[in-house]
Amino acid sequence: MKQAVREHKVLLTITLLCSILTSAAGVLIALILQKVIDAALQGDKQLFREILLLSVVYLLLLGLFGLIYSLCSKALIRNVTITLRGRVFRGVFRQKAETFSATNTADYLSALTNDIKLLEDNYIQPMLQVLQNVVVFAVSLGILLYLSPLVTVILIGCMVLMFAIPSLFGKALQHKQSEVSSQMSAFTASLKDLLSGYEVITSYAMGRYAEQTFKQQNHRAAGVRFAADRLFAFNESVSHTLAILTQFAVVFIAAYLIITGNLSAGSLVALVQLSGGFVGPVLAIMENLPKIQGIKPVQERIDLFSEEKHEPDAEGLTPVFHSTLEARHLQFSYKQGNPVIQDISLSLEKGKKYALVGPSGCGKSTLVKLLTGYYDRFDGSIALDGTDLKRLDREKLQQMVSTIHQNVYMFDSDIRHNICLHEEFSEQMLDTALHTSGIHKFLQNTPDGLLSPVGENGLQLSGGQRQRIAVARALIRNKPILVLDEGTSAIDMQTAYEIESRLLKLNELTLITITHNMNEDLLGLYDQIIYMENGKIAEMGSLEELLKHGGRFRGFYTLEKDLAGATG
């Protein structure tokens, strides 16, 4: 947060300077009032003309500095907001995949929208106001002392009382602000969940449930906000009452000093004006200080997501893959005491093709995620060409692997953009990717070809078409490792067979396919079938070897085939 403000030092300095000048000049009006009233009461025309001229110059300068301050402060808020959002956005994308997936995306959305707005309203603007008011207070104090030390002492007494108030509210407000931030995050999460579930909600007649959930979250969010505002209201009204009391005290004492002949009428007007300039700033400071204190939890949350929090990889070695990807005694659990991967050792060779099979939930996807550097909180070791994965540059490692999942994310653009993703590729590379992925088949039936829009998250395409785009997206980049995590499950059998058999022919590609499809012709093309059960590798070998062996894989294979036959 502070770093983001520091990035705009020049604008900050100009804003602060103009703020000081405008605030200080604003106070001088009291002296002009004093002089003009005394000149009028004395009938001094010469002095009256001089003050009139001075006032015109004063007004012009005040207006000019006021305008510059106003423009600069708004530009400062805009720049800091842009910088903060940028830092959070980059921070989110730079963190480890493991950390990213452990956090609800609504938390990121909330940090980028609600929290940054809270910072603007409760930190940046109050900070500028506090500074302005400190200047007004200091200049007013000087002039007050010059006009009447007695009134000044009484004013200071009232001030002390007024300062005691925010300390009573500060802690409670801090707590309430934190609650507002968490509740807004929960509200965004719930809203996102409901909107993403549109199809399920409408087709399963869940409208009432959705409305009720929304109503509850809506009321809760508004309720927490109101509880914080209520506390602000108490703080503000106590402060206002004390401020008015102070001004009353000044008027009555100054009036008494006029009665006793110790003060001029002009000075009384100046004192009343100054007491406003003295009390007002204290009031504003008191209102703003709890806001600044209260925003600390939100500030910490933003800092947590910001890029400076994400340390670079320890060694950041550049990964190379010429021979093997090897795991030794690999153990991993999502929750302590519940291991999902148990003592797995295996070696994958470059260019070979592996089919990973086993009952649902046995740990296939988790194993592949570990092997490709998605999670780094595991026991045992994983090495790429002999170098420990934890020593490698995470970003470069990610760039060596393409993973195609069952659900493919599509940007709301056309087919070409969803394959190339802002990168330039030759027409020949694009053509090869289109053929290997089987896209060319359905392109013939689309009027705009590669320029056909796919709609929000690819809604205008079928599941199979989306998966073919994902295959092309991966192939065009020519990455050495391709993971198909049921990546062709939505494609018809014939096309899936064609795509997979083309991938199996790519000599340089190391292919790891997680599949439930027990197609003998396809499985027979894989170099190795890795059969998993309960987080362990139960058997490993070619299809022929495993079937001949007649072990656990054979039982699984036969059962799956029978089931597919019965349901298909």
* Interacting residues toward ligand ATP by CB under 6 A: 334, 340, 358, 360-366
Q: What share of the chain is helix, strand, coil (3-state, %, to 5)?
A: 65, 10, 20
Looking at the Cβ atoms of 510 and 517, the one nearer to ligand ATP is: 517
CB of 567 to ligand ATP, least distance (A): 17
CB of 372 to ligand ATP, least distance (A): 13
CB of 537 to ligand ATP, least distance (A): 12
CB of 88 to ligand ATP, least distance (A): 23
CB of 340 to ligand ATP, least distance (A): 4
Q: CA quadruple 507, 513, 517, 523: dihedral positive or negative?
A: positive
Whole-number Å distance between alpha carbons of 483 and 511: 6
CB of 341 to ligand ATP, least distance (A): 8
Looking at the Cβ atoms of 67 and 564, the one nearer to ligand ATP is: 564
Q: What angle do CA 283, 287, 292 make, to 5 degrees?
A: 135
Cα distances (angstroms) measured from residue 330 to each of 177, 398, 513, 533: 44, 20, 20, 15
Whole-number Å distance between alpha carbons of 473 and 450: 13
Whole-number Å distance between alpha carbons of 22 and 24: 6
- Closest Cα to residue 153, out of 242, 240, 249, 245? 249
Q: What angle do CA 327, 331, 333 make, to 5 degrees?
A: 135
- Closest Cα to residue 513, out of 386, 367, 392, 373? 367
Q: Could you count the other beta carbons within 10 Å of the beta carbon of residue 278?
A: 30
CB of 338 to ligand ATP, least distance (A): 8
Looking at the Cβ atoms of 321 and 332, the one nearer to ligand ATP is: 332
CB of 496 to ligand ATP, least distance (A): 17
Whole-number Å distance between alpha carbons of 525 and 178: 57
CB of 184 to ligand ATP, least distance (A): 25
CB of 196 to ligand ATP, least distance (A): 18
Residue pair 322/386 in contact (Cβ under 8 Å)? The answer is no
Looking at the Cβ atoms of 115 and 500, the one nearer to ligand ATP is: 500
CB neighbour burial string for 386-423, b if at least 16 within 10 angstroms, e if fewer? eeebbebbbeebbebbbbbbbebebeeeebbbbbbeee
- Closest Cα to residue 14, out of 87, 65, 88? 65
Whole-number Å distance between alpha carbons of 1 and 303: 6
Helix (H) or strand (E) holding 305: helix 296-305
CB of 485 to ligand ATP, least distance (A): 7
One-letter-per-residue 3-state SS of 101-150:
HHCCHHHHHHHHHHHHHHHHHHHHHHHHHHHHHHHHHHHHHHHHHHHCHH
Whole-number Å distance between alpha carbons of 71 and 93: 33
Residue with tokens 């069952």, as numbered in its chain? 406
Looking at the Cβ atoms of 124 and 530, the one nearer to ligand ATP is: 530
Looking at the Cβ atoms of 98 and 498, the one nearer to ligand ATP is: 98
Residue pair 534/342 in contact (Cβ under 8 Å)? The answer is yes
Looking at the Cβ atoms of 35 and 364, the one nearer to ligand ATP is: 364
Looking at the Cβ atoms of 220 and 405, the one nearer to ligand ATP is: 405
Looking at the Cβ atoms of 239 and 366, the one nearer to ligand ATP is: 366
Looking at the Cβ atoms of 335 and 422, the one nearer to ligand ATP is: 335
Looking at the Cβ atoms of 340 and 476, the one nearer to ligand ATP is: 340
